[in-house]
Chains A and B, each alone.
Chain A
Amino acid sequence: MTIDEADARHHLCGALREHAEYVADRWVHLQKERAALDAGLTEAQLREEADVLVEQLSSGLHGDLAADRLVTAHAGLRQAVIELSLRRARGGAAPSATALAVLALKEALLEAVQLGTSDAASLYSAALLINRVLDAAGALSFATYVEGREEIIRRQSRQLLEVSTPVVQLWDRVLAVPLVGTLDTSRTQVVMENLLGAIESSEAQVTIIDITGVPTVDTAVAHHLMQTVNAVRLMGADCFISGIRPPIAQTIAQLGIDLSAIVTRATLSDALGAAIALIASPVSRTIPVAAR
C-alpha cells in the first residue's frame, strides 16, 4: 500500500466512523432521487440495506485486505453486495438498477470524506480508493443480478412446464397426459415426476400419453417417450401412447424406431377403451426381457 493509499484509507475509515448515518441517509436519498433505481423497495428497506452495507464497508476497510479485493474477499461485504443485487433482481428492477445503486454509494462516500477534509490531494486519493473498492462491487452486483434473473426465469419456465403438462384422471385407475409441444429433456422430467406421482397417489393401473399436440417425433423425442414408458412400467402400471397421427406414424416407421413393445392407438378414446378392458382382467406388468 502506498502512503497515499494508506492515507486515503485512513480518511475513509474516519469518514465512515464519524458519518455512518450521513452516508446511509445520503445514499438512500440519492437512490430515491434517481427514479431509475426504483425496484419496489421501500425507504425503510433501502435504509436497512444502507446500514448493513456501511457497517460491512467499515469493517472491511479496517482490516488488512487490499482495496480492490475487499468486496470479493470480505465475507460480510460480499454477502451484503450480493443481497443488494438479488433484492433488486427479484423486485424486477431494470438491469442498471444495481450498477446505479453502487455509483450512488460512491457519491455518498466521497461527500462524507469531504466533510473531514478539503485537501485536494487527499480527496483525489480518497476518490481513487473508493473507486477501487466499489468497482468490484459493481461487477459483483451485476453478475449476481444476472444470475438472479436467470434463476427466476428458470423457475417460471418450470412452473409453466408444470401447468402445461397436467395429468388428468380419465377413469378409475386410468390417467392421461395430453402433451402439447415438443418433448425435450426438461419437459420429460416434469412429465415423469407428475405422472409417476399421480400413479402413486391414485393407484392407477394404466396411463395414456397423448401426443396429438406433439408436432414431430424424432429419435430424441422417441427416447424420451421410452424413458417415460419404462419408468411407468417399473412402477407397475401400463403405459399406452395415443394420438399418433398418420404423418407421425410414417416418420416413426421411417426412422426405424421400435415402439412394438408399447400399446399405441390413434385416438385417446380408443386408448381409453383398451385401458378399461385391460383393467377388467388383471394381468401383471412384466417388463419384456431386453433383446441382446
Chain B
Amino acid sequence: MRPGDDPSPGLVAVEDHHPQTAAVEDHHPQAAATRLGPTHSGQAAETAGGSASRHPIRSEEHLLTARHAVRAATLDVGFTLVDQTRVVTAASELVRNAYIHGGGGTLTIEVVRRADVRGLRLTVTDHGPGISDLDAAFTDGYTTGPGLGHGLGGARRLMDDFRIHTAEGHGTTVVATRWTTPP
C-alpha cells in the first residue's frame, strides 16, 4: 500500500494487495488458526531468491543487529535510499513490537522476486499473548504519543504487502514485503 492510496488512517481490513490472491485476513479472535499456508500460493510466478536469514529478537542488542541486517539486505536488493529507509524503519517498528509486546521472537529476511522485479520480505514472529483487538492495534496511537499502541499501522503504510496472523494466546506473525518497483 503506497501512501496516498488511502488518505484515511486506521483502516481495519488487512488485505493483500496482489490482485491475483485477494485474500482478506480475518482477524476475529475466534478464528485462531494460523493461516501461514496460503501466504504464497496463488501468486503468479513469485519465487524466493533463496537467501533467507533468520535473526533472533531476544534482547536490545538484537534490535540493533536486526536493523543492520535489514539495511544490508535492502542494499543487496538495490532499493533507493528512501525505500531503504522505509523498509528499515518498518522493520524497526515490527521488531520492537515483537520484543516489547510479544516477549521476543524471530525476524526472517528474504529476497523475493516476481518476474523481473526484486523485493524484500520481512517475517516477524513472536509467541507472545497475541493481539486480541487488531482494530485498535492498527489505529494510530501516534496522536497520543508514539510508542503507545502497537504502531502496526505505520509499518503497514511503509510496505507494499502486509499480512498479519494473530490470535489471543497464540502469538503474532507479520509478513511484510516491499518491491523495488510498485506492483
- A residues with CB within 8 A of B: 82, 86, 143-144, 147-148, 151, 154, 184-185, 188, 193, 219-220, 223-224, 227, 290, 292
Contacts and interface: CB of A to CB of B under 8 A. Distances in A.
A184 B115 contact: no
Contact of B4 (A147, A227, A290): A227
Contacts of B143: 290, 292
A151 B181 contact: yes
Contacts, number: 31
Given A151-B181, A193-B82, A290-B143, A223 B116 contact: no
A219 B7 contact: yes
A185 to B, nearest CB: 4
B181 A223 contact: no
B60 interface: no
Contact of B116 (A147, A220, A292): A147
B-side interface mostly: loop
A170 B45 CA distance: 50
Contacts of B117: 147, 151
Which 3 A-B pairs give the minimum distances between C-beta atoms?
A185-B4, A223-B7, A147-B115
A292 B116 CA distance: 45
A263 B143 CA distance: 23
A-side interface mostly: helix
Given A185-B5, A220-B4, A220-B7, A144 B181 contact: no
Given A151-B181, A193-B82, A290-B143, A144 B4 contact: no
A258 to B, nearest CB: 13
B3 A148 contact: no
Contacts of B5: 185
Nearest to B142: A290
Nearest to A221: B4
Given A154-B181, A193-B82, A290-B143, A223 B4 contact: yes
